[in-house]
Every structure is written in C-alpha cells, then in structure tokens.
Amino acid sequence: MKEYIVTKHAIQRAVERLGQTEQHAPHHLKQLMQTAFYQGETPGPNGFIRKFYDHFKTKTRLVVIGEKIITVYKFPEAVPIPFADEVAQVIKRKFAKSERDFKRKERALSIEIAEFNVELAQHRLSYAKAKSPKVRESLSDKISELETKVGRIQFELDEAIKAFNAIKEGAAKYL
C-alpha cells in the first residue's frame, strides 16, 4: 500500500467539495487513492508533472504530484444539451427511414438473387441433359453470365448490409 502525503489545500478541498471533516479528510483521500485508477498526466505551470487519478465509485478525481495529493474534486456533471430531445427524435426518424429503405432494398435484392438462382438451376439441369457440344457450350456461357450477375447482386447486398450496420452503430451512439 503506497503512502501518500495530503496537502493542506487537498484537505480544504475535501472539506469543501466532498463534505468530509477536516480530521477525517486525509484518511479519506488516502483510502480513495488505494482504489483510484490512473488516467494520465500533464505538466503543471511550475514544471512538475501532475498525475490524475479517478475514483469512479465516488465520482472523484484526485490530482497528485510525486507522492503528494494536491487537490481533489468531483467529476463535472454532464451538461444538458439544449434540444437533446428534439435531436434524439430527429435521429430516431432518420434511422427508421434508413431502416425501411434498407429492408426494401434487401428484400428486392434477395428476390432478384433467388430468381437468378432458379434460372441458373434450370440452365444447369438443361446442361446436364444436353448431349450436343454446341448446346452445352451455349448453356455454359449462359451459366457463367448468370453466376456473374448473382455475384454482382450479392456484392451489392453485402455493401448495403455494411452501410446499414454503420448507420445503426452511429445512431446507437446518440440514442
């Protein structure tokens, strides 16, 4: 267990900001430091490196230089965004619209792929039944052309799915 020195300023801030008594503040701050998580460091105005530790359970940030706790404060409260409800409603509507468009496009492309697969199966059956090399060559060309079309449509469908998933993830961040 690392031992920290608590400055008078830190004690005053613990009394002021955390509601601790002056005699209990040093012990309280040392206890917080034992379970606080290191967040980073910045150079201070006097050249010392300030290290920041966050204690998430109590929503407290501690600032340390070397082994001295120099100040303490609560996490800043989230500032309410003006028009947050209206923005959320707009995002929901836009997401619902993109979801409808995606489902419509996905359904159309899936149907198109299924129809080409039926046609492809018929040509493969005809190819298997055909005896003439000329007919087989003609059917082989049609089969390869249909396979190319199915591959192109499948690629288009995959791209639409990726685009919709990106939209879904983006909307989830705001909602």
First to last CA, the chain: 42
Same domain for 69 and 94, yes or no, is no
Query: Is the pLDDT score of 110 beyond 70?
Result: yes
Same domain for 92 and 169, yes or no, is yes
pLDDT of residue 47: 84
Same domain for 121 and 151, yes or no, is yes
In a domain, residue 48? The reply is yes
In a domain, residue 19? The reply is yes
pLDDT of residue 81: 67
Same domain for 139 and 97, yes or no, is yes
Number of domains observed in the structure of the chain: 2
Same domain for 92 and 35, yes or no, is no
Same domain for 125 and 166, yes or no, is yes
What secondary structure letter does DSSP report for 52?
Answer: E
Query: Is the pLDDT score of 56 beyond 60?
Result: yes
CA Rg, the chain, in Å?
Answer: 33
pLDDT of residue 132: 93
pLDDT of residue 98: 94
What secondary structure letter does DSSP report for 173?
Answer: H
Pick from 32, 49, 74: which residue ends a domain?
A: 74
Residue with the larger pLDDT of the pair 46 and 41:
41
Pick from 74, 102, 120: which residue ends a domain?
A: 74
Same domain for 22 and 51, yes or no, is yes
* Alpha helices (runs of H) in 22-132, residue ranges in sequence order: 25-35, 84-129
Same domain for 28 and 96, yes or no, is no
Q: Which domain holds residue 89?
A: 84-174
In a domain, residue 110? The reply is yes
Query: Is the pLDDT score of 79 beyond 60?
Result: no
Rounded CA-CA distance 114/120 in Å is: 10
Pick from 20, 43, 74: which residue ends a domain?
A: 74
Mean pLDDT, the chain, rounded, equals 91
* 11-41 per-position pLDDT tens digit: 999 999 999 999 999 999 999 999 999 999 9
Q: Report the pLDDT averaged over residues 6-13.
A: 94
Helix or strand or coil: residue 77? coil
Residues 6+ apart with CB under 8 A from 49: 41, 42, 43, 65
* 135-165 per-position pLDDT tens digit: 999 999 999 999 999 999 999 999 999 999 9
Same domain for 165 and 89, yes or no, is yes
133 CA to centre of own chain: 57
Integer CA distances (angstroms), 64 to 37, 74, 126, 134, 141, in order: 12, 15, 81, 85, 75
pLDDT of residue 33: 92
Residue with the larger pLDDT of the pair 105 and 75:
105
Same domain for 90 and 123, yes or no, is yes
In a domain, residue 79? The reply is no
Strands 68-74 and 5-6: parallel
- Left if phi > 0, otherwise alpha if psi is -120 to 50, otherwise beta: which for 18? alpha
Rounded CA-CA distance 55/75 in Å is: 9
User: How far is it between the farthest Cα atoms of the chain?
Assistant: 102
Query: Is the pLDDT score of 118 beyond 90?
Result: yes
pLDDT of residue 80: 65
